[in-house]
Amino acid sequence: MLIINFNPFPNLETERLLLRRIDTNDVNEIFTLRSNPETMKYIPRPLAKTTEDALEHIAIIDAKIENNEGINWAITLKDDLKLIGLIGHYRIKPEHFRAEIGYMLLPEFNGKGIITEAIKEVVNYGFKVMQLHSIEAIIDPENFGSEKVLQKNGFLKEAHLKENEFYEGRFLDTVIYSILNEI
């Protein structure tokens, strides 16, 4: 079984990005992300209605890091450390050497290769540091942007589950993409 330890917190760096720990100073950006119907379109979770909701989300992220159950990074540009998105490993299953990757980005930063760059680094961290064997991404079948970015990063479609989630009175399909650690 894997031993997961996020202490000390691992900042990650790419050519253009610094992936750093989220803190309460990011509350307004987290609120902007999680209250925006466009960024939340494919995420079956309620929209944040207040900055209190955003602070609660930050507290949940912190608790998961402290308990080594999950890790989230603020996506920032190196020349401006303001949060523009989130990326992380969720639902880590140490007994299966597997985790789920998730991410979101403020719409004005879409189409610039930022998520592609962040995914590459977070997958690398998952395989090299966390010693994961596989990483999955669970997406809405209509989320073609996410599908494209996953394929660009070497993820393969593993499954299309029919109406396997129930949210706001409707059954939703999900698609699972994954990548194996072949290092």
What pLDDT sits at residue 40? 94
Measured distance CA(77)–CA(63) in Å, rounded: 25
Contacts of 39 (CB under 8 A, 6+ apart): 33, 104, 105, 106, 107
pLDDT digits (tens, 9 = 90+) for 4-46: 999 999 999 999 999 999 999 999 999 999 999 999 999 999 9
For residues 4 and 68, the answer to whether their CB atoms sit within 8 Å is: yes
Measured distance CA(87)–CA(45) in Å, rounded: 16
The structure's pTM equals 0.95
In a domain, 20, yes or no: yes
> Domain limits at 65?
12-180
In a domain, 2, yes or no: no
pLDDT digits (tens, 9 = 90+) for 68-88: 999 999 999 999 999 999 999
- State how many domains the chain has: 1
Tokens of 123: 């997958």
In a domain, 44, yes or no: yes
